[in-house]
Amino acid sequence: MYKLTIISGPNRGTSYGFQDGEVSIGRQMGNTVVLVSPSVSKRHCVLVVQNDEIILRDHGSSNGTFVNGILTRSKTIGPGDRIGVGEFILELVKPTPPSLHNAPAIYGLGNVIQFPDKTQKKDIGAEGNTTSLKSIERVPQDFKEKVALFIDKQIMPFFYALNFKYDLKTIGAWILTLLCLGSLLVSIQPLIEVNHQSLINELGLRAKFIAKQIVAKNAPFLATKTDISTDIGSLEKSEKDVRMAILVDLENRILAPTNRMNQYLVSGEEAKIAIQTRNRFLSGREEGVIIEATNHNVVAIEPVKIFNPRLNKNIVIAMAIVSIDSLQSLPSLGDVGLFYSKAIVLNGLLFIIAFLILYFSTLKPFQVLNDDIDKVLKGDMNQVTKEFKISELSSLWDNINSALQRVPRSTMTMSGVDNMSFQGTLSSADCVAPFEVIGGISKHGIVVCDSEKKILYFNQVFEEISGLHIEQVKGETLMSAGRDQAFLALCQDMFSKVVSGGPSIQEEFEFSGVLFGIYLIAMGAAGTAPKCYVFIIEKKEGA
- Domains, the chain, in order of start with CATH, read 2-97+114-134 (2.60.200.20), 192-328 (3.30.450.20), 407-539 (3.30.450.20)
Q: How far is residue 45's CA from residue 9's CA, in Å, rounded to a whole number?
A: 17
- If we measure between CA atoms, which residue out of 435, 447, 427 comes closest to residue 520? 447
Type of residue numbered 184: L
Q: How far is residue 290's CA from residue 212's CA, in Å, rounded to a whole number?
A: 12
User: What is the C-alpha R_g of the chain?
Assistant: 42
Sign of CA dihedral 400, 406, 442, 381: positive
Query: What was the pLDDT predicted at 426?
Result: 59
SS3 127: helix
Q: How far is residue 286's CA from residue 477's CA, in Å, rounded to a whole number?
A: 102
Type of residue numbered 421: S
Type of residue numbered 519: Y
All residues at 6 or more sequence positions from 236 whose CB lies less than 8 Å from its CB, including other chains? 242, 243, 244, 245, 257
Consecutive sets of 10 residues in the chain, 543 residues long: mean pLDDT of each? 85 83 88 87 90 88 87 89 90 73 45 46 42 51 82 82 81 85 81 85 91 90 79 70 89 88 89 92 90 86 89 89 86 78 85 87 86 82 79 79 68 40 56 84 90 89 86 84 81 88 86 88 81 90 70
Q: How far is residue 406's CA from residue 438's CA, in Å, rounded to a whole number?
A: 11
Query: What was the pLDDT predicted at 249?
Result: 92
Q: Residue 308 half-sphere exposure, CB side, CA atoms within 13 Å?
A: 9
Query: What was the pLDDT predicted at 134?
Result: 46
In terms of Cβ atoms closer than 10 Å to its own Cβ (0-12, 13-18, 19+), residue 255 is buried
* Cβ proximity of 318 and 255 under 8 Å: yes
What's the order of all strands across the beta sheet hosting 445-450? 455-458, 445-450, 532-539, 514-523, 505-511
Query: What was the pLDDT predicted at 136?
Result: 47
All residues at 6 or more sequence positions from 433 whose CB lies less than 8 Å from its CB, including other chains? 36
- If we measure between CA atoms, which residue out of 479, 505, 507 comes closest to residue 492? 479
Q: What angle do CA 539, 541, 543 make, to 5 degrees?
A: 70
Q: How far is residue 100's CA from residue 67's CA, in Å, rounded to a whole number?
A: 35
Query: What was the pLDDT predicted at 153?
Result: 83
Q: How far is residue 98's CA from residue 132's CA, in Å, rounded to a whole number?
A: 18
- If we measure between CA atoms, which residue out of 417, 462, 455 comes closest to residue 439? 462
Q: How far is residue 227's CA from residue 218's CA, in Å, rounded to a whole number?
A: 9
Can you say how many angstroms the Cα of residue 347 is from the centroid of all Cα atoms in its chain? 21
Can you say how many angstroms the Cα of residue 243 is from the centroid of all Cα atoms in its chain? 53
Type of residue numbered 258: T
* Count of beta carbons in the 10 Å neighbourhood of residue 135: 8
Q: How far is residue 297's CA from residue 302's CA, in Å, rounded to a whole number?
A: 16
Per DSSP, what are the bridge partners of residue 246? Answer: 321
Report phi then psi at 101, rounded to 5.
-105, 120
Which helix (H) or strand (E) segment holds residue 110: the answer is none
Per DSSP, what are the bridge partners of residue 538? Answer: 517
